[in-house]
Structure 1
Amino acid sequence: MEIFKILNNNVVTVIDHKQEKVIMGRGIAYQASIGDTLDESKIQKIFVLSHYDDADRIISLLQTIPLEYLQVSDVILKEAKKTLDIDADIIFISLSDHIKGVVDRARKGIQLRNPLLPDIRRFYVKEFEFGLDALQTINQTFGVQLLEDEAAFIAMHLLVNMEDSQNGENLAYQMTQIIQEIIQVVSDFYQIEYNENSVDYYRFIMHLRLFTQRLLGHQSYEANEDDEDLLAALKRKYYKAYQCSEKIKQFIKEAYAYDITDEELLYLTIHINRLNHA
């Protein structure tokens, strides 16, 4: 196989049987050039880009994720394939990016609570137990001590994928429609058309997928006291992003009779601020 694109020292793409494939391996592109023959002894993981609807964004995102996070995600999802009915490759990139963000925040002393923790622990036992095992792997690998809430977040990544598979096109259509509407609210508020190939746009879309699943599942929750304090701080620090989140809250209430809680406003504010200050 010949190198088609070099994303960084550890990730390249190749064309194999007319398919563009991503190849991961430590130092696999070191001192290499496009067109060179790949050192197959360094290959650690291969996945096919055509499995993703947004291959260009996947490539952009891969350039920002260090290899160790991709490796941990791969280890975690190999276990998921054994124990759960899930197409693990579909969420490989989003989970890798999620783990990087969680570890980065934890090292700054920031950990977010998951208000769905009790429900996920109770109603999605296998997925939550898997999340706990994944949490242990992340803690040991990166020397952090993540809260149990993170096990629920990991379970949610798996659940979104399984819901999509089981409910098919109807769910995907509904989610896409709501996401497009929210993006339009944000675009109108800031008077800007966003680069859909940007990494921050992709991250925002991933967050909105989780949100729309909760909306369509009629799940709602209240923020705890810590979240209320954090939201108050973000309201002062990211005032414009918070005002945009309030616009989304008003739209969702009118269009879908769904109340966005302070917890959800917190996450929306963080993502909207990052989207507009990348």
Structure 2
Amino acid sequence: MKIFKILNNNVVTVIENKQEKVIMGRGIAFRADVGDVIDETKIQKIFLLSNYSDADRIISLLQTIPLEYLQLADAILKEAKASLDIDADIIFISLSDHIKGIVDRARKGIQLRNPLLPDIRRFYIKEFEFGLEAVNMINQTFDVQLTEDEAAFIALHLLTNTEDKETSEDIAYQMTEIIHEIIQVVSDFYQQQYNENSVNYYRFIMHLRLFAQRLLAHQTYSSADEDELLVALKRKYQKAYQCAEKVREFIKKKYAYDITDEELLYLTIHINRLNQN
């Protein structure tokens, strides 16, 4: 196999049987050039880009995710195969990116509360157990102290990526409409169009998919007084928070759905990241 593209020192792509494949391994591209033969003893994982409908964004994500996160996600999914009916390759990249995000937050001392935790623990027992196992592996690997809230986030992330296959065309259409409407509100507020191939746009869309699912399922969560993190975000990311409030007003008016402070917090974080230069 010869290198087709070099994404970073640890990830390259090859063309084999007219299909582009991602090859992962520590130092696999170190001092290598396009066209060089790959040292097959360094290969740790291979997967097809054709498994993804958004291959360009997957390549962009791979360039930003360190190898240790890819390795851990692969190990977690291997553990999950025995108990869960999942397409490990489909969720591999998104789980790697998700793990990187929660470890980054933990190292900054940020622990987000998951308002869905009670329902996920109750209704998605196997997925929640998977989340707990994943959190344990993340804690041991990166020396952090993630909570059950993060286990629920991981379970929900897994559900989003596996249940799409069974989503009806009507629900899929409604979700798409909601996502489009929110993007339009944000775009109008900032007076700009976004690069749909950017990593931050991709992450924002993934968040909106989760939000749209909750909206259509009429899942609302009452919140107590604003927690310290939301208060801090209101000060630090004023414009993003104002935009999130615009989204809240729009959703309330059209769908009679109340976005809670917890939802507003996550929305603010994603809007701010989307608009970072």
Q: Normalised by the size of structure 2, how large is the TM-score?
A: 0.96
Q: Number of aligned pairs?
A: 277
- Give the equivalent residue in structure 1 for 2:245: 246
- Give the equivalent residue in structure 2 for 1:131: 131
- Give the equivalent residue in structure 1 for 2:273: 274
- Give the equivalent residue in structure 2 for 1:189: 189
Does the residue aligned with 1:83 lie in a helix, a strand or coil? Answer: coil
Equivalent runs, 1:69-148 vs 2, <5 Å: 69-148=69-148
Distance 1:216 1:163 in 2: 15
Q: Per-residue deviation at 1:38?
A: 1.3
Does the residue aligned with 2:121 lie in a helix, a strand or coil? Answer: helix
Does the residue aligned with 2:227 lie in a helix, a strand or coil? Answer: helix
Once the two structures are superposed, residues 150-197 of structure 1 have per-residue CA deviations (whole angstroms, 9 ceiling, x without a partner) of: 110110011112220222544333222211111111101000011111
- Give the equivalent residue in structure 1 for 2:256: 257
Equivalent runs, 1:1-278 vs 2, <5 Å: 1-225=1-225, 228-278=227-277
Amino acid in the other structure paired with 2:127: E
Q: Per-residue deviation at 1:107?
A: 0.9
CA contact (8 A) 1:164 1:171 kept: no
Q: Per-residue deviation at 1:224?
A: 4.5
Does the residue aligned with 1:195 lie in a helix, a strand or coil? Answer: coil
Distance 2:77 2:187 in 1: 35
Distance 2:254 2:90 in 1: 30
Once the two structures are superposed, residues 237-277 of structure 1 have per-residue CA deviations (whole angstroms, 9 ceiling, x without a partner) of: 11111111111111112222211111000001011111112
CA contact (8 A) 1:65 1:96 kept: yes
Does the residue aligned with 1:14 lie in a helix, a strand or coil? Answer: strand
* Of 54-63 and 170-179, the range deviating more from structure 2: 170-179
Distance 1:198 1:149 in 2: 28
Distance of aligned partners of 1:26 and 1:167 in 2 relative to their CA distance in 1, 3 Å threshold: same
Once the two structures are superposed, residues 44-102 of structure 1 have per-residue CA deviations (whole angstroms, 9 ceiling, x without a partner) of: 11111111111111111110100000111111112222211121221211111111111
Does the residue aligned with 1:4 lie in a helix, a strand or coil? Answer: strand
Q: Normalised by the size of structure 1, how large is the TM-score?
A: 0.96
Distance 1:41 1:61 in 2: 25
* Of 166-175 and 125-134, the range deviating more from structure 2: 166-175
Distance of aligned partners of 1:139 and 1:124 in 2 relative to their CA distance in 1, 3 Å threshold: same
- Say what the alpha-carbon RMSD is for the aligned residues: 1.3
Long gaps (5+) in structure 2: none
Once the two structures are superposed, residues 206-248 of structure 1 have per-residue CA deviations (whole angstroms, 9 ceiling, x without a partner) of: 11111111112221113345x5322122112111111111111
Distance 1:173 1:88 in 2: 26
Identity, % of aligned positions: 78
